[in-house]
Amino acid sequence: MFFKEQINPKNLRITLETLINIRWIAVIGQFFTVSFVYYILKFQFPYFETLILVFLSVLVNIFLELNKSKFITINNYYATISIFYDLIQLILLLFMTGGLSNPFSILIIVPTTISVTYLSRGSSQFIVICSIIFSTVISFYHMPLPTPQGGNLNLPKFYEFGVWLSLTIGIIFLGNYAYQLGRDNRVRVGALNKLEEELTNEKVVNSVGGMAAAAVHELATPLATISLVGKELQKQLKNNKSTKDDINLLINQASRCSSILKDIAERKQQDQFISKVSPKELINEIIFSLENKLNKEITVVNKSFNERLKMSKKTEISYALRNFIENAIKFSKTKINIEINQQKKKTIITIDDDGIGFDENIISRLGQPYVSSEKVKKNDQGMGLGIFISKNLLERCSAKVTFHNKENAGAIIQIEWTNSQLANL
Q: Quick one: which of 413, 294, 297, 299 has its CA closest to 357?
A: 413
The pTM of this model reads 0.56
**181 shares a domain with 112:** yes
Domain boundary among 227, 257, 274: 274
Do 349 and 283 touch, CB atoms closer than 8 A?
yes
> In the prediction, which pLDDT does 382 show?
45
Winning range, highest mean pLDDT, from 18-27, 138-147, 368-377: 18-27
Q: pLDDT-based confidence at 378, cuts 50/70/90?
A: very low
Q: What SS3 state is found at 281?
A: helix
The region of weakest confidence among 54-58, 320-324, 376-380 is 376-380
pLDDT at 24 over 80: yes
**176 shares a domain with 156:** yes
As separate numbers, helices (DSSP H) first and strands (DSSP E) second, the chain gives: 12, 7
Cβ neighbours for 213, distance < 8 A, ≥ 6 positions apart: 264, 265, 268
- Give residue-wise pLDDT tens across range 169-195: 999 998 888 888 877 777 777 766 776
pLDDT at 256 over 50: yes
- Give residue-wise pLDDT tens across range 222-247: 777 887 887 877 777 777 777 777 77
**248 shares a domain with 102:** no
Q: What SS3 state is found at 353?
A: strand
Residue 337's DSSP bridge partners are: 299, 352
pLDDT at 287 over 50: yes
**283 shares a domain with 408:** yes
The residue-averaged pLDDT of 192-203 equals 68
**382 shares a domain with 396:** yes
> In the prediction, which pLDDT does 199 show?
67
Tell me the Cα Rg of the chain.
34
Average pLDDT, the chain: 80
How far apart, in whole angstroms, are the C-alpha atoms of residue 414 and residue 399?
10
> In the prediction, which pLDDT does 366 show?
77
DSSP of 177-246, one letter per residue? HHHHHHHHHHHHHHHHHHHHHHHHHHHHHHHHHHHHHHHHHHHHHHHHHHHHHHHHHHHHTTT-HHHHHH
Full domain range(s) for residue 362: 277-423
Domain boundary among 274, 297, 312: 274
Do 412 and 351 touch, CB atoms closer than 8 A?
yes
Q: Looking at per-residue confidence, does 53 or 391 come out higher?
A: 53
The DSSP output letter for 318 is: H
> In the prediction, which pLDDT does 275 show?
64
Do 237 and 244 touch, CB atoms closer than 8 A?
yes
**419 shares a domain with 312:** yes
**104 shares a domain with 13:** yes
**352 shares a domain with 251:** no
How far apart, in whole angstroms, are the C-alpha atoms of residue 167 and residue 87?
14
The residue-averaged pLDDT of 354-361 equals 83
- Give residue-wise pLDDT tens across range 60-81: 999 988 887 776 667 888 889 9
The residue-averaged pLDDT of 79-108 equals 93
**377 shares a domain with 245:** no
Do 145 and 152 touch, CB atoms closer than 8 A?
yes
Do 175 and 114 touch, CB atoms closer than 8 A?
no
> In the prediction, which pLDDT does 168 show?
93
Residue 397's DSSP bridge partners are: none
The region of weakest confidence among 23-37, 151-165, 363-377 is 363-377
> In the prediction, which pLDDT does 204 show?
62
How far apart, in whole angstroms, are the C-alpha atoms of residue 88 and residue 267?
68
Domain boundary among 248, 274, 300: 274
**22 shares a domain with 80:** yes
**352 shares a domain with 256:** no
**238 shares a domain with 337:** no
Number of domains in the chain: 3
Cβ neighbours of 240 (radius 10 Å): 11
Do 386 and 372 touch, CB atoms closer than 8 A?
no
How far apart, in whole angstroms, are the C-alpha atoms of residue 137 and residue 105?
13
Cβ neighbours for 259, distance < 8 A, ≥ 6 positions apart: none
pLDDT at 105 over 80: yes
pLDDT at 4 over 70: no
